[in-house]
Copies of this chain bind each other. A is one copy, B any other.
């Protein structure tokens, strides 16, 4: 910038004004500055300006998702990016892998880079370590999972409600022996989905927790049908579990005899046989709302923190409408 000022024969401040499009510069002077900037191939350094700027905003958001390679996180990320771009901000993305150790490390890394807000999915059971950062003015929006030990904006799916809806759908189709297959009970989402299941489920539900991935889901389903009184319907409370269940039912030759409703849509869910009925979440809407909240808080820091619930939709495709079979 100094070189540009020298070449154009103006003061630093004038170059700054031209670069930032502030008015009140004589067109002729401005033209000279622009010519000098082009000649020297000048690129302003945004972060250098941040140092002295009154609001100290870096116009950078930190995003922590489960795993950016997974479609749910990908859609959240895309939404955050879209909103950020509209506000002239950039997004630093990190994948958590549900690892509590990583959580603190990733967040520390983002904080050192002075992100204006953090939009984050968490793995630890307590987030009170972020209170001081929040007091310092960093925006905090929790997505997908509600935090503990801190009051902040939260954007989540209607986990319990959606689960109850799924179970009622199965009961409406005549099922009474319904099995729940869910993720690790430490996860807030797993707790909520089980809670919703219990609210709507018949009196003696079958509950299988701690199913961590597709392979474990296959095993869990095989085990269920190895018992004297197997379920007539499955509610799989996570997308990988749904995929594992489809695989297992197919191997067992039960695809067309056991009803299945999954939580969270799966890719090509309409092309498998039978097509799979799911409660579809809206990850783009979650990310969008979260990013909008972050920017709203930058504009009005006194906003009271709130929890936003994004609705899910029952997508009826066939697997959830199979009637109970007499064994």
Q: Which of B74, B112, B246 contacts A43 (CB 8 A)?
A: B112
A272 to chain B, nearest CB (A): 5
Residue in chain B with minimal CB distance to A102: B85
A102 to chain B, nearest CB (A): 9
Collect the chain B residues with CB atoms within 8 Å of residue A94's CB: 81, 85, 90-91
Residue A326 at the B interface, CB < 8 A?
no
From B41, B48, B68, B247, give the contact of A77 (CB < 8 A): B68
Q: Given the complex of chains A and B, what is the CA–CA distance between A79 and B169 in angstroms? A: 40
- Contact mask for chain A residues 240-278; partner B; CB cutoff 8 A; 1 contact, 0 none: 000100110010000000000000001111011100000
CA distance A77 to B247 in the complex (A): 28
Copies of this subunit: 2
Asked if A81 and B109 make an inter-chain contact with CB atoms under 8 angstroms apart, the answer reads no
Please, how many angstroms separate the alpha-carbon atoms of A271 and B51 in the complex? 54
A70 CA / B267 CA spacing, docked (Å): 11
Q: How far is the CA of A226 from the CA of B273 in the complex (A)?
A: 26
Q: Judge whether A69 is part of the interface by a CB distance below 8 angstroms.
A: yes
**In the docked arrangement, what's the CA distance between A234 and B73, Å?**
33
A151 within 8 Å of B (CB atoms) = no
A148 at the interface (CB under 8 A from B): no
| Distance of A250 from chain B, by nearest CB (Å) | 7
A90 touches B110 (CB 8 A): yes
Chain A, interface size category, equals 35 or more
Q: How far is the CB of A237 from chain B (nearest CB, A)?
A: 19
Q: Are A74 and B81 in contact (CB under 8 A)?
A: no
Cα A133 to Cα B41 with chains together (Å): 9
**A45 CA / B112 CA spacing, docked (Å):** 5
- For chain A, residues 266 to 294, give those with C-beta under 8 angstroms from any C-beta of chain B: 266-269, 271-273, 284
A-B contact pairs, 26 of them (CB 8 A): A41-B132, A41-B136, A45-B112, A46-B112, A47-B50, A47-B51, A67-B78, A68-B77, A71-B267, A73-B74, A77-B93, A81-B93, A81-B94, A81-B95, A85-B106, A90-B92, A90-B113, A91-B92, A91-B93, A91-B94, A243-B271, A246-B271, A250-B271, A266-B267, A272-B272, A272-B273
A60-B92, A69-B75, A69-B284 given; 8 more Cβ-contact pairs under 8 Å: A43-B111, A43-B112, A46-B112, A46-B114, A47-B113, A51-B51, A77-B93, A85-B94
